[in-house]
């Protein structure tokens, strides 16, 4: 029976291998369900020109596709680094039962992957963020919400 350290070592192995192949930053992830790896993910931002192709998001997409579900309730996620805000959001949407991480956010910051500014942006008024947000046509967009509630 594989131990949690075995799963994390696989995430770490991926983080090294795929970084050395030029796929992107040094980040790997595996998702485990009932003691078996159901999906691998690695940072493929450079390989796919996709800024959302982080290890955790890639692994969540693959796990959900292979298991035919949009929720990973019985799964555990092993990531070689503490998730960034985007991946943390994706993890909450996918709802695995536990997350294990190896490198910390502070470790990532020391090598140039700094998520701190995104956390700081969340605390600012929408109009004062680096990328300003402005509400537009809120009333018209409510049609879809009303139809959803009516279903
Ligand atoms: Zn991320």
Tell me the C-alpha to C-alpha distance, in Å, between residue 92 and each of 11, 86, 97, 105, 140.
20, 10, 10, 18, 29
Q: What pLDDT score was predicted for residue 12?
A: 98
CA 68 to ligand 1 center in whole angstroms: 23
Question: Measured in angstroms, how far is the CA atom of residue 84 from the centroid of ligand 1?
Answer: 4
Is 128 one of the catalytic residues? no
Contact call for residues 35 and 61 (beta carbons, < 8 A): no
CA distance 84 to 87: 5
Q: Which of 5, 17, 36, 56 is catalytic?
A: 56
Residues whose Cβ atom is located within 5 A of ion ligand 1: 54, 84, 86-87
Residue pLDDT tens, the chain, 151 long: 889 999 999 999 999 999 999 999 999 999 999 999 999 999 999 999 999 999 999 999 999 999 999 999 999 999 999 999 999 999 999 999 999 999 999 999 999 998 888 989 989 998 899 998 889 999 999 999 999 999 9
Closest by Cα among 125, 31, 129 to 83: 31
| Predicted structure pTM score | 0.93
């Amino acid at each position: 029976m594989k131990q949690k350290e075995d799963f994390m070592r696989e995430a770490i192995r991926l983080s090294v291998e795929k970084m050395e192949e030029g796929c992107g930053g040094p980040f790997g992830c595996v998702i485990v369900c009932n003691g078996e790896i159901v999906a691998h993910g690695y940072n493929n931002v450079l390989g796919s020109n996709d800024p959302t192709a982080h290890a955790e998001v890639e692994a969540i997409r693959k796990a959900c596709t292979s298991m035919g579900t949009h929720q990973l309730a019985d799964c555990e996620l092993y990531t070689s680094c503490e998730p960034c805000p985007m991946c943390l959001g994706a993890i909450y949407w996918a709802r695995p039962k536990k997350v294990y991480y190896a490198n910390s956010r502070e470790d990532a910051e020391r090598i140039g992957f700094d998520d701190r500014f995104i956390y700081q942006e969340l605390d600012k008024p929408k109009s004062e963020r680096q990328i300003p947000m402005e509400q537009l046509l809120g009333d018209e967009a409510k049609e879809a919400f009303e139809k959803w509630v009516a279903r």
